[in-house]
Structure 1
Amino acid sequence: MTAVPDRAHPRPDSVLLRALAADLDAADFRSEPLRGLWGEEADDALARGLREPILRAIAGRDDALATLGLLWVLGMPQPHRAVEWAVPRTGVDGLVELGLAEADGPDVVPLVVIRPQSFVDADGVGEWWIASDLDEVALGTSLPADHVLGVGGASRTLAELVIPAPVERALDLGTGCGIQALLVSRHARHVVATDISERALAFAAVNARLNGVHNVEFRHGSMFEPVEGEAFDLIVSNPPFVITPRVNDVPEYEYRDGGLIGDALVEQFLRTAPDHLTPGGVAQLLGNWESRGGVDGLDRARSWVPEGLDAWVIQREQLSPLAYAELWIRDGGTLPRDAGFTRLLTAWLDDFEAREVTAIGFGYILLRRPVDASRRLADARSAPATGSATQGGWVPEPVEGPSTPEPLRRFETVTRPVSNLGLALLAGLVAHDALADGIPDRLLVAADVTEARHHLPGDDAPSVIELRQGGGFARTIGVDPALAGFVGACDGELTVMQIVQALADLFEVPLADLWADLEPRIRRLVEDGLLLPADAAE
């Protein structure tokens, strides 16, 4: 790719950005008014890279909203007089001073796009104005290597992933245009946002000031270098995890390429992040991992997590080397009809073949640092006695000494849609903690759980019994009559052992044998949120 000359970065002038925010607000420059201006079909077409439907829908319009939509959403030059009228507080001179546009004769030429991005979190519904570099639709060509991406699918996925809990200090590692830092700032007292790209940091600072966010601090540097020696209650990251062949003529986009070989960047993050988490602190990120040399990608990711750390890795999809290469070559704006496509595809496939990569997984990673050892010991000392099952009843056994609860280790593939992902992950952590001292004394079936029984024609007994979860991960779990009977009796009134004893009598099996069979499966139903501790459900 031809080298792109250095470009001036946007400038986060607070006074001018407050004026611009007032102009955008006065023009009602928001998602719904824009969608109403040019129609749903044209709006959806823009997401596919087509802007002609919008141009046809608003042909002849010269009001402020239409002018700003063409200037900022489509990235098209607009008449100087129309822009001056649309942003009277900022003026064209102000846009030029901010580095967002330039005056070119009778026209104002946008240097960035600014698009409204709506969001929903625990505090309600809101919307940001997010500035980023002109995309391939506006440029009409492939992207420059220092391109700062706006809000894409990965950004929205990470936003859904983050656990919605208030924290004191948060870190957004690899902030890009700053969207995650803005979202996290709504429930963090202080946010540090870092990036290896000075241009990205400039955009992130512009976006924070444009949206009136003042509790975010921006720092330049790679990975955890800018926060050496610091710890955070929450770390979020959409890191530059894309696997790219390290060949001279393959472009390395700052927003997606970390400069390392294969999935080494994700490995480095998992090995390093725990050092920057406070006790109980959580790190959440997106990532890729390779199945390589006969070792499954999830197993490789498991080996990167330090001992004693809680880890939950969810693989959402797995691509072949060919599908992966095509996806990211297109992402850079190079299409199969373009001259360089075959050369780039060959470089990607040669790299995967040389490293024996057979598949590339994509998904979500959650890490949590355990609370400090002294607290764990105190919790263990106050834990109730454990016990063992006998045919005659439940016999308590003394605790032999303080022990550390087993860390959470979940590495799974979940391809079905997940509703309220952040809340579902939080519920999983809470359930894991609730099981630290054993299965709670009383359990209650979650309100979204239903049971389905399948019978073969003429059979009285079901051949298949399934528990189905309506929310969260929407899991479907096959159970046998004993476990189905246990779940059906979990009304929060009977104790776990009362139910198991009754089932042992019903099925005429020793209590110890039935408990040994049911106990791990009951734990899993609690972990998955199908069964809830009765006191927590009240």
Structure 2
Amino acid sequence: MTAVSDTPAPFPDPLLTAALAADLDSADLRSEPLRRLWGEEADDALARGMREPILRAIADDRGVLATLGRLLVLGMAQPTRAVADALPRLGVDGLVALGLATRKGDDVIPTALLRPQSFVDADGVGEWWIASDLDEVALDGPLPADHVLGVGGASRTLAETVVPVQVDRALDLGTGCGIQALLVSRRARSVVATDISARALAFAELNARLNGVTNIEFRLGSMFEPVAGEAFDLIVSNPPFVITPRVDGVPAYEYRDGGLVGDALVEQFVRTAPRFLTPNGIAQLLGNWESKAGVAGLVRLEAWVPTDLDLWVIQREELSPLAYAELWIRDGGTTPRDSAFTPLLTAWLDDFAARGVTAIGFGYVLLRRPAAGDDAEPLRRTERIAQPVSNVGAALGAGLAAHDALAHGVPATLVTAPDVTEARHFLPGNDDPSVIELRQGGGFARTVNVDPALAGFVGACDGELTVMQIAAALADLFEVPLDELWAELEPRIRSLVRDGLLVPGE
């Protein structure tokens, strides 16, 4: 078992965090100033785990921003005098009292990272300061089991997928460093953030205070235990979904391992979350699911969700057991050069083989409880999308709205979405297109093959004519009975509405 951290959790004292925030603001410790300080290439290299380019770029710089960059962004010891000059309000004693550093001789030794994290949401562009445990680069080795992760790829993915709705109450289950709770707090009256790790909650509370966010309540406990009997309009979770062998010698990292076998944690979440949703409430999470015993992971996942709930699952990738094991062993800071790598790989592969696992999917899950009295057919959608996506939260929100609109039939008027373009492919010497494609520029970037009739329908959807007026004109043009044309077009029009290529008119 990997050892736990040998440093205490932060102590988020209100006065000290306010002083730290003032010092960071005065030093302009933000993404763009840091990027200008050490250069774009060096900044990009840090994201890949290399800090040497930054150190070379600021080797002779003893200014305040360079000092704080080395101390807090890179996690490197700095001279006490330089840190005192860089943090005049907080001071070195205050930094130590917050649990973010210790003293050793004439140096200040950081015990945590503190990095600026920019974001973009429906309300605009902003930036948080986010504190977390020292990473494997700063530690120069594997992570402790109780490591509190900063803002990683999964955190950013979940943030991009959350439907941008204004809500009264929200829940961030498994908050970690608190980034999701901070983001949701911008559109929720109140947020409850939970975690099984007291260390994680200390970081999350520190980050909320550091950024002046006051509408988050922090609670310790596993899964939904801390909110028993309560209901929320929005639940978000980047839970510890990583599938880890339950054998001696395999580290169970709190930030990614929920302590259950296989994908049981994701199953537990999707089975339980609906009980904690208000009518029309939404739950969203990232997760892994296993294909095993001849049953695809998406099929297994759909079976976990009650049939009266809306369900939308998007699988972004699927890995073999070998690729999955290597990914997460490396994530913990162990590489093939380390003696521990082969035993860990063996444990993972043995576990998957014993349980008949053939593949592991990763993606987004959205659940929605129907509104009171809503007897419409529930949304049940599972799909694989491998292409690059953008503005996913808005696309999911539009998809839910489209599903609701279609419950009452095809809308009277439709408009082609502004990001949709048409491409026509011709064989040499042929005036008629052999392929007509509709391409979606944003969201899920779908490409849909259409025939001339459907292409003509979409081209006429500018909001001026009704759906049936367009259909009647096409029936005349192609010299076919309207009812026959409509029977052919209607299900494909519905599909284009569901996918966001056509949107209801005003």
Tell me whether the two structures share a fold, i.e. TM-score over 0.5. yes
In 2, the alpha carbon distance for the partners of 1:190 and 1:116 equals 24
Aligned to 1:384: none
- Superposition misfits of 4+ residues, deviation over 4 angstroms: none
Aligned to 2:171: 171
Gaps of 5+ in 2: none
Q: Name the stretch that deviates more: 505-514 or 139-148.
A: 505-514
Give the 3 Å change call, closer, same or farther, for CA 345–41 of structure 1 in structure 2.
same
In 2, the alpha carbon distance for the partners of 1:510 and 1:72 equals 71
Q: Name the stretch that deviates more: 128-137 or 513-522.
A: 513-522
Q: 1:418 aligns with which of 389, 398, 402?
A: 389
TM-score normalised over the length of structure 2: 0.98
Q: What SS does the aligned partner of 2:214 have?
A: coil
Residue correspondence of structure 1 range 40-119 to structure 2 within 5 A: 40-119=40-119
Aligned to 1:519: 490
Q: Name the stretch that deviates more: 1-10 or 470-479.
A: 1-10
| Number of residue pairs the alignment of both structures matches | 506
Aligned to 2:259: 259
Q: In the alignment, residue 22 of structure 2 is paired with which amino acid? A: A
In 2, the alpha carbon distance for the partners of 1:4 and 1:471 equals 43
Aligned to 1:399: none
Q: In the alignment, residue 35 of structure 1 is paired with which amino acid? A: R
Question: Does residue 503 of the first structure (1) align with residue 474 of the second (2)?
Answer: yes
Q: Is the 8 A contact 2:133 2:149 kept in 1?
A: yes
In 1, the alpha carbon distance for the partners of 2:147 and 2:125 equals 29
Q: In the alignment, residue 219 of structure 1 is paired with which amino acid? A: R
Residue correspondence of structure 1 range 128-143 to structure 2 within 5 A: 128-143=128-143
In 1, the alpha carbon distance for the partners of 2:465 and 2:48 equals 56
Question: Does residue 469 of the first structure (1) align with residue 440 of the second (2)?
Answer: yes
Q: Name the stretch that deviates more: 283-292 or 443-452.
A: 443-452
Q: What SS does the aligned partner of 1:23 have?
A: helix
Residue correspondence of structure 1 range 76-475 to structure 2 within 5 A: 76-373=76-373, 376=374, 404-475=375-446
Question: Does residue 482 of the first structure (1) align with residue 453 of the second (2)?
Answer: yes
Q: What SS does the aligned partner of 1:131 have?
A: strand
In 1, the alpha carbon distance for the partners of 2:41 and 2:427 equals 47
In 2, the alpha carbon distance for the partners of 1:453 and 1:358 equals 40
The Cα shift of 1:227 comes to: 0.5
The Cα shift of 1:124 comes to: 1.5
Aligned to 1:10: 10
Q: What SS does the aligned partner of 1:241 have?
A: coil
Aligned to 1:390: none
Q: In the alignment, residue 394 of structure 2 is paired with which amino acid? A: L
In 2, the alpha carbon distance for the partners of 1:454 and 1:4 equals 60
TM-score normalised over the length of structure 1: 0.92
Deviation per CA, 1:378-429, whole angstroms, max 9, x where unpaired? xxxxxxxxxxxxxxxxxxxxxxxxxx21111111111111121111111111
The Cα shift of 1:30 comes to: 0.9
In 2, the alpha carbon distance for the partners of 1:233 and 1:115 equals 31
The Cα shift of 1:155 comes to: 0.6
In 2, the alpha carbon distance for the partners of 1:300 and 1:2 equals 32
The Cα shift of 1:503 comes to: 2.9
In 2, the alpha carbon distance for the partners of 1:45 and 1:482 equals 51
In 2, the alpha carbon distance for the partners of 1:84 and 1:214 equals 29
The Cα shift of 1:486 comes to: 2.0
Q: Is the 8 A contact 2:5 2:145 kept in 1?
A: no
Q: Is the 8 A contact 2:102 2:111 kept in 1?
A: yes
Q: What SS does the aligned partner of 2:324 have?
A: helix
Q: In the alignment, residue 430 of structure 1 is paired with which amino acid? A: A
Q: What SS does the aligned partner of 2:415 have?
A: strand
In 2, the alpha carbon distance for the partners of 1:462 and 1:414 equals 27
Aligned to 1:387: none
Deviation per CA, 1:225-244, whole angstroms, max 9, x where unpaired? 10011110111110000011
Q: What SS does the aligned partner of 2:442 have?
A: coil
Aligned to 1:21: 21
Q: In the alignment, residue 402 of structure 2 is paired with which amino acid? A: A
Deviation per CA, 1:51-102, whole angstroms, max 9, x where unpaired? 1111111112221111111111111111111111111111111111111111
What is the identity percentage for the equivalent residue pairs of Structure 1 and Structure 2?
A: 77
Q: What SS does the aligned partner of 1:424 have?
A: helix
The Cα shift of 1:518 comes to: 1.5
Which structure has the larger Rg over C-alpha atoms? 1
Q: What SS does the aligned partner of 1:163 have?
A: coil
Q: Is the 8 A contact 2:426 2:433 kept in 1?
A: yes
The Cα shift of 1:5 comes to: 6.1
Q: What SS does the aligned partner of 2:284 have?
A: strand
Q: What SS does the aligned partner of 2:34 have?
A: helix
Q: Name the stretch that deviates more: 309-318 or 41-50.
A: 41-50
Q: What SS does the aligned partner of 2:170 have?
A: strand
The Cα shift of 1:481 comes to: 2.1
In 1, the alpha carbon distance for the partners of 2:325 and 2:394 equals 33
In 1, the alpha carbon distance for the partners of 2:187 and 2:492 equals 36
Gaps of 5+ in 1: 377-403
Q: Name the stretch that deviates more: 165-174 or 48-57.
A: 48-57
Q: What SS does the aligned partner of 1:130 have?
A: strand
The Cα shift of 1:6 comes to: 5.7
Q: What SS does the aligned partner of 1:150 have?
A: coil
In 1, the alpha carbon distance for the partners of 2:307 and 2:153 equals 32
Q: Name the stretch that deviates more: 248-257 or 415-424.
A: 415-424
The Cα shift of 1:308 comes to: 1.2
The Cα shift of 1:514 comes to: 2.5
Q: Name the stretch that deviates more: 294-303 or 12-21.
A: 294-303
Q: In the alignment, residue 144 of structure 2 is paired with which amino acid? A: P
Q: What SS does the aligned partner of 1:483 have?
A: helix
Give the 3 Å change call, closer, same or farther, for CA 364–520 of structure 1 in structure 2.
same
In 1, the alpha carbon distance for the partners of 2:87 and 2:58 equals 19
Q: What SS does the aligned partner of 1:359 have?
A: strand
Q: In the alignment, residue 89 of structure 2 is paired with which amino acid? A: R
Q: In the alignment, residue 443 of structure 2 is paired with which amino acid? A: G
In 2, the alpha carbon distance for the partners of 1:487 and 1:126 equals 38
Aligned to 2:34: 34
The Cα shift of 1:495 comes to: 2.2
Q: Is the 8 A contact 2:5 2:146 kept in 1?
A: no
The Cα shift of 1:2 comes to: 4.8
